[in-house]
Amino acid sequence: MNTAIIHSIKNGAYTAIALYVAFVAVITVTSMNAASINAQTSKHAPIVVVEGAAVSVAGGA
């Protein structure tokens, strides 16, 4: 009976380690994709919107 309990605990530990490794892999791939997406969007020149620009009027005082 003790060997069955130890065997069950070992299987649970192996499962937990495998899930942890898979989790770390998913987080790594996700962060790498996010970095590449941010790098692609930052290549474009910034867009500047000017509101209320001064207007020249012909004529004088």
* DSSP class of 23: H
Which range marks the domain in which residue 18 is found? 1-61
Res 44: pLDDT? 60
Q: How many domains does the structure of the chain reveal? A: 1
**In whole angstroms, how far apart are CA 56 and each of 49, 50, 52, 60?**
19, 16, 13, 11
pLDDT, tens only, 18-58: 999 999 999 998 888 876 666 665 566 666 666 765 555 56
Q: What is the model's pTM?
A: 0.52
